[in-house]
Chain A
Amino acid sequence: MKFGAKTKLFAALGAFIIITPLFALLIKVPWRNFFYQLDSLTPIKLSLWTSVVAAGLALLFGVPLAWIFAKSSSRTIAFIRPLVLTPMVLPPTVTGIALLALMGKRGLFGKYIYEVTGWSMPFTSAAVVLTGVFVGLPFIVLICESNFRQLPKEIEDAAIVDRASSGELFRDIALPQSISAISTAGTLAWARAIGEFGATLMFAGSLPGSTQTWTMLIYQRLEISPDSAYAFAALMLIVSVTVVAFLRKPLRNSFR
């Protein structure tokens, strides 16, 4: 297919805007002593495990939610659906304040949890995970819902004729056909969770070992040792590019 000159120009600019900053970052990285700069792996480990747990939880809750969104015509559902997508457009500070308002020591739920157990969520790894679930869930719902809507109706109808229960319809018919969409959704939610910064800082704080995440480390390193910040940033870039490359095909399929 041929493209017009203007289309090509704007498309090239679009690609340019995204690719050049990444390239510029890679040039600044002190490759010569790259591994020497990566002197603290604790925040990386913390970010990896919290984001994986967050993505897992987001899948656990998000896939059934997407199924109901796809299949229900109730008014309540029509009202809830846009609300569930709000974390995608919410500024991180607002997310942080909202989570504190709910789970903080004086929060709506947090108050009672603290009174009964003496435990509160802020400043714990659990807060990092919850933030990840909150920002990752919409990706699961969005991708899986559109996937569930596009499943071939015939198979479902045949199963209904064979008296499949609604649970079986979801578990045995819909889920097996949606593996690719679900894995894409899970990976995007994971990527969103591992990249979260502002909301995590507000809700979980920053302490090496329990709440200082990879992104937080990059931010703090920038103040004392930019070289080290570049190295940690580049490593994150490499990890995310690998994931996106790995995802290319399923990503295309699930948005089709």
Chain B
Amino acid sequence: MRKFLIFFLIISCSTIPTSANAKTRIVVFAASSLIEPFSELGKRFEKKNPGNVVIFSFESSSILATQIVNGAKADIFVSASPEDMLKVDKGFDYIKNRVVLAIPTKSKITRISDLNGDVDWIQCSHEVPCGRAADSALRVEKITASPVSLEPNVKSGVSKLLMGEVDAAIIYNSDVVTNSKKLKAIEFGDRKSASTQYKIVQLRNSKIITKLFSYLNSPESLKFLDKKGFDSK
């Protein structure tokens, strides 16, 4: 047993450092609305820069900001709202996203005002960016009905709509684009109030982190994000 343990120790000591030396890890904390496009951009970056691994942590922006304030080691942080970025840094304007009323492709809902009728719908909770955008968009549309649930992040709202538990959900346009085979979007009349400004910041300095930071800001990446339903203008 003891021999086995020593053997195991030697093996683990000799393997861990070499793999860590060979590959540089870059940690990106990003709003959960960025799961699909950022995972793809991360893969592209790894392909262009062999030997580097991009590790993502996707969560609601406010949770990520709290984690960073409490010492989580993030190299780059992307928040879905200026408020959450301010907890960490001033940050730079990044892309925009807007909430829409998402419905299944076959749905009896045709207008935003249908929400006031007999419809089960959900939105994000008031504390998170997608919820704040939904609140201000609904105020403009004079919707008085209440949602059946206030979801803690946009993805749990998306999954409930996809599973058919609700008739409609106020989620990001980018989420509708990702699920365009099953969902379609009804835009809010006032797009400005439905929008949220994403912010980006580089929290630590190294050549490769800077390289990833500029890659995420490159025309190629921004064009890709536009295609995925975000707005880089």
Cα of A101 to Cα of B19 in the assembled complex, Å: 42
Contact assessment for A220 and B125 in the assembled complex, using a CB-CB cutoff below 8 Å: yes
B6 within 8 A of A: no
Interface-facing stretch out of A34-42, A68-76, A160-168, A222-230: A222-230
Contact assessment for A220 and B127 in the assembled complex, using a CB-CB cutoff below 8 Å: yes
- Which chain B residues border A190 with CB–CB below 8 Å? none
Chain A 206-227, CB-CB to B under 8 Å as 1, else 0, gives 1110011000100110111010
Residue of chain A at shortest CB distance from B146:
A207
Contact of A223 among B122, B127, B146, B149 (CB under 8 A): B127
Contact assessment for B164 and A123 in the assembled complex, using a CB-CB cutoff below 8 Å: no
Q: Count the A residues whose beta carbon is within 8 Å of the partner chain — how many?
A: 23
A107 to chain B, nearest CB (A): 9
B69 to chain A, nearest CB (A): 9
B120 within 8 A of A: yes
A81 within 8 A of B: no
Contact assessment for B66 and A105 in the assembled complex, using a CB-CB cutoff below 8 Å: no
A92 within 8 A of B: no
Contact of A222 among B66, B150, B164 (CB under 8 A): B66
B1 within 8 A of A: no
Cα of A206 to Cα of B147 in the assembled complex, Å: 10
Residue of chain A at shortest CB distance from B149:
A205
Contact assessment for B148 and A104 in the assembled complex, using a CB-CB cutoff below 8 Å: no
Residue of chain B at shortest CB distance from A203:
B165
Contact assessment for A205 and B127 in the assembled complex, using a CB-CB cutoff below 8 Å: no
Contact of A207 among B66, B149, B164, B166 (CB under 8 A): B149
Contact assessment for A207 and B150 in the assembled complex, using a CB-CB cutoff below 8 Å: yes
Cα of A123 to Cα of B150 in the assembled complex, Å: 10
- B28-67: which have CB < 8 Å to A? 60, 62-63, 66
Say whether, besides A211-B149, A219-B152, A205 and B125 are in contact (CB < 8 Å).
no
Contact assessment for A226 and B160 in the assembled complex, using a CB-CB cutoff below 8 Å: no
- A98-118: which have CB < 8 Å to B? 100, 104-106
B2 to chain A, nearest CB (A): 15
Say whether, besides A207-B147, A207-B149, A104 and B164 are in contact (CB < 8 Å).
yes
A122 within 8 A of B: yes
Contact assessment for B164 and A105 in the assembled complex, using a CB-CB cutoff below 8 Å: yes
B179 within 8 A of A: no
A201 within 8 A of B: yes
B128 within 8 A of A: yes
Residue of chain A at shortest CB distance from B148:
A123
B113 within 8 A of A: no
Q: List 10 A-B contacts (CB under 8 A).
A: A100-B165, A122-B165, A123-B165, A201-B152, A205-B150, A207-B148, A207-B150, A208-B150, A223-B63, A223-B127
Measured CB to CB, the residues of A under 8 A from B are 100, 104-106, 120, 122-123, 201-202, 204-208, 211-212, 216, 219-220, 222-224, 226
